[in-house]
Every structure is written in structure tokens, then in C-alpha cells.
Amino acid sequence: MLRVAIITISTSKSAGQGVDKCTPALEEYVKSLGGEVVGADLIPDDREQIEARLRHWSEPGASDVVLTSGGTGLAPSDVTPEATLAVIEREAQGIAEALRIAAQPHTKYWMMSRGIAGVRGRTLIINFPGNPKSIAECGEPLVDTLEHAMALLIDRGDAGH
């Protein structure tokens, strides 16, 4: 079973303004993958905090996958991609592109997402948009491929080459 940490990035929601709908959407998405949520954070759009939580959840044994939501747009406060790039060791560009392509039928703004995917150690980190509805929509292509990606990453030998 995939062990998944989720990080919702929203300055307003982390300050208690409004209801956080992204964390439950990420939790539902993890269930659709057959995974287990091992931890969840709700933090502001602060690059240092994002980097710290990404590092924490990608420590050996902490989680297999880290899913983030929020901070991937064009606003000056959207720093999730920069924080992710500072933490990962290798990009998984196809995953980020698949999320954008999957968003295209659902929003005319799909091309404005700057989300990143990559690997730190043996942990896969994926940035999702900050719209709760978009999590399942964008993540659909990963449902059937994430297990294979993790088998390769963790070197389980069941990757089915």
C-alpha cells in the first residue's frame, strides 16, 4: 500500500479563513489510488515552510509519495514549484505534463499551472493545482501508472518491464 503524505498550501486557509476543501479532496484521491494517508499539513504560501515539509515527508520511511495542492499558478505568492525544485533531485516531467493535459478539458486555464513532479530519495513528489475539483480530474492519468512508477522507484522488482 502506498504511504502518502499530503500538503495543502494556502495562506488564507491556513490562517483559518474559509473551509479547506483541498485536503479532503487529496484524501479522497489517495483512497482512489488504494493508498494510505500517513500525514497531512495545511501551510501558507511560504517557500521555506513548503521546502521544510517536503523534506520532512521525503525522509527515508516517512512516505512513498507526497502530494501537494495549491501555489502552482502565476500569482507572485505561488511558490510551490520553486520550493519543489529546490527539494527534488530529479524531475518527472511527464507526470507534471500529464496533470496539465488532463486538466485541459475541464478549464481554459490549464496551461497556467506550473506544477512540478520529481523524486527526492525514494519519494515521489507531485504538485496538484489548488482547486479541489481539479485534483481528481488532473490525477486521473496517475491512477493506473503510479503503482508502476513506485515499483521502479522503490526497486521492488515487480515493475513489469
Q: What is the pLDDT of residues 122-147, one digit of tens each?
A: 999 999 999 999 999 999 989 888 88
Reported as a single tens digit per residue, the pLDDT across 78-109 is 999 999 999 999 999 999 999 999 999 999 99
**Complete DSSP assignment for 13-72:** HHTT-S---HHHHHHHHHHHTT-EEEEEEEE-S-HHHHHHHHHHHTSTTT-SEEEEES--
pLDDT band at 12 (very low <50, low <70, confident <90, very high): very high
User: For strand 36-43 and strand 3-9, is the pairing parallel, antiparallel, or unpaired?
Assistant: parallel
* pLDDT mean over 43-68: 98
Q: Which CATH architecture has domain 3-154?
A: 3-Layer(aba) Sandwich (3.40)
| Residue 156, pLDDT score | 52
